[in-house]
Amino acid sequence: MLQTVSEPRADGAAGSVAGAQLAAYRFMLKARLLDDKFAALYRAGKIHGGVFIGKGQEALSAATGVSLKKTDVFAPLIRDAAGRLAFGEPIIDAIRTYLGSALGPMRGRDGNVHRGRPQTGLLPMISHLGAMISVVNGVLFARRMKGISGSVGVASLGEGATSTGAFHEALNQAAVEKLPLILVVANNHYAYSTPNSRQFACADLAEKAVGYGVGSHSVDGTDLAACLATLTAAVGNARAGHGPQLVVADLLRLCGHGEHDDASYIDPKLKNSPLGRDCLKVAEDFLVEEKIADAAQLAVWRSAAIREIEDAVAIVQREPSPNPFAEKWRALAEENLNELHEE
């Protein structure tokens, strides 16, 4: 007898532990299939620029998105398709950005990974290297000054970003001001092709939290249940006024840095270690073992997600590309404001 769980939703997880795991899994599945589609379009020459997929990092990303509320702030990175979907990003936003549609959230103006909707708390990425931490700090400061309480902000980053000055300055600022910031570090053991042994000397990145006076959490990034528990705790601490929280997840990127990269530099020993587990398969096995879902239901969800993605791609492929001669070269925020006034 399968457990009854509520339908996944973007504004936090479903009411039960089983519901949270199911919601996060379905975002993981959709993100994996969406990434697979982008990789296929890239190989077919349909995408200009790079394609960077999150294979192996979906459990951490989905757990992050599921743990947040719609009133929170999220600054995802290139491998955060699952977290973006969980936070409420429509699939068509991602497809329009990658295919350069003029109807996308960035109007086809920017690179294919710098998408977002700041008005809804989903911040467009500036850079991977710690740059988004200070942006999230700024949003949280602004809300404090406006008297808005109860929201938190998440900045995603890789382990390489923890070696940058931007990371140090922004985390130090957040700690001093006790901002409700959560830093989610995907420690995939390679900053592009640079191994951890050439990046930092501490045994565990979570140890860096001590020097800044912030809370720390370490988690197995291949285990969805563990990621959900850890992110829920970290977000809860920040929301309760306990200041910034640093979450470090150990995992492995099960692909190259981008689709242009064969990842031949990754140590085979790591691939064959527990870090090399596919978090999507781990989550599926857990759902079946716990009788939250069965193989038939998993197949139905996969088919439905594929149809949704294919339908969205078909729509976007018929949409216009941006016309630089007709473009109104002004800030998108100003353009959106004018559209609201016109309505």
Is the predicted pLDDT of residue 306 greater than 70, yes or no? yes
How far CA 7 is from CA of 11, 13, 15, 68, 122, in Å, comes to 12, 10, 10, 17, 23
Q: Are 260 and 60 in contact, with CB atoms under 8 Å apart?
A: no
Give the integer Cα–Cα distance in Å for 73 and 121. Answer: 4
Tell me what the mean pLDDT of segment 321-339 comes to.
75
pLDDT (0 to 100) of residue 196? 84
* Closest residue by Cα to residue 66 from 31, 110, 94, 40: 31
Give the integer Cα–Cα distance in Å for 34 and 103. Answer: 19
pLDDT (0 to 100) of residue 15? 52
Tell me what the mean pLDDT of segment 43-58 comes to.
93
C-beta atoms surrounding 257 within 10 Å? 19
pLDDT (0 to 100) of residue 11? 52
Cα torsion through 69, 75, 81, 82, rounded to 10: -30
Task: Band the pLDDT of 342: cuts 50, 70, 90.
Answer: low
Tell me what the mean pLDDT of segment 270-282 comes to.
94
Look at phi and psi of residue 273 and say left if phi exceeds 0, alpha if psi is from -120 to 50, else beta.
beta
Is the predicted pLDDT of residue 183 greater than 60, yes or no? yes
Give the integer Cα–Cα distance in Å for 119 and 105. Answer: 11
Q: Are 210 and 178 in contact, with CB atoms under 8 Å apart?
A: no
Is the predicted pLDDT of residue 102 greater than 60, yes or no? yes
Is the predicted pLDDT of residue 245 greater than 50, yes or no? yes
Give the integer Cα–Cα distance in Å for 227 and 250. Answer: 10
Look at phi and psi of residue 49 and say left if phi exceeds 0, alpha if psi is from -120 to 50, else beta.
left
Tell me what the mean pLDDT of segment 70-85 comes to.
96
Task: Band the pLDDT of 33: cuts 50, 70, 90.
Answer: very high
C-beta atoms surrounding 310 within 10 Å? 12
pLDDT (0 to 100) of residue 7? 39
Share of the chain above pLDDT 70, in %: 93
Most confident of the ranges 40-49, 175-184, 199-208, 327-336: 175-184
pLDDT (0 to 100) of residue 336? 60
Give the integer Cα–Cα distance in Å for 231 and 68. Answer: 9
Is the predicted pLDDT of residue 6 greater than 60, yes or no? no
pLDDT top residue among 286 and 6: 286
Kindly report, residue by residue over 110-148, the tens digit of the pLDDT.
777 889 999 999 999 988 789 999 999 999 999 999 999
3-state secondary structure labels for all residues of the chain? CCCCCCCCCCCCCCCCHHHHHHHHHHHHHHHHHHHHHHHHHHHCCCCCCCCCCCCCCHHHHHHHHHCCCCCCEEECCCCCHHHHHHHCCCHHHHHHHHHCCCCCCCCCCCCCCCCCEHHHCECCCCCCCCHHHHHHHHHHHHHHHCCCCCCCEEEEEEHHHHHCHHHHHHHHHHHHHCCCEEEEEEECCEECCEEHHHCCCCCCHHHHHHHHCCEEEEEECCCHHHHHHHHHHHHHHHHCCCCCEEEEEECCCCCCCCCCCCCCCCCHHHHCCHHHCCHHHHHHHHHHHCCCCCHHHHHHHHHHHHHHHHHHHHHHCCCCCCCCCCCCCCCHHHHHHHHHHHC
Average pLDDT, the chain: 90
pLDDT (0 to 100) of residue 4? 33
Is the predicted pLDDT of residue 13 greater than 80, yes or no? no
Backbone angles phi, psi at 117, to 5 degrees: -140, 85
Task: Band the pLDDT of 335: cuts 50, 70, 90.
Answer: low
pLDDT (0 to 100) of residue 128? 78
Is the predicted pLDDT of residue 338 greater than 60, yes or no? no
pLDDT top residue among 298 and 16: 298
Is the predicted pLDDT of residue 91 greater than 90, yes or no? yes
Give pTM, 2 decimals: 0.90
Residues sharing a CB contact under 8 Å with residue 1, sequence separation 6 or more, in sequence order: 291
Is the predicted pLDDT of residue 156 greater than 80, yes or no? yes
Task: Band the pLDDT of 5: cuts 50, 70, 90.
Answer: very low
Q: Which pairing describes strands 194-195 and 215-220: parallel, antiparallel, or unpaired? A: unpaired
Give the integer Cα–Cα distance in Å for 293 and 283. Answer: 11
pLDDT (0 to 100) of residue 48? 86
pLDDT (0 to 100) of residue 323? 87
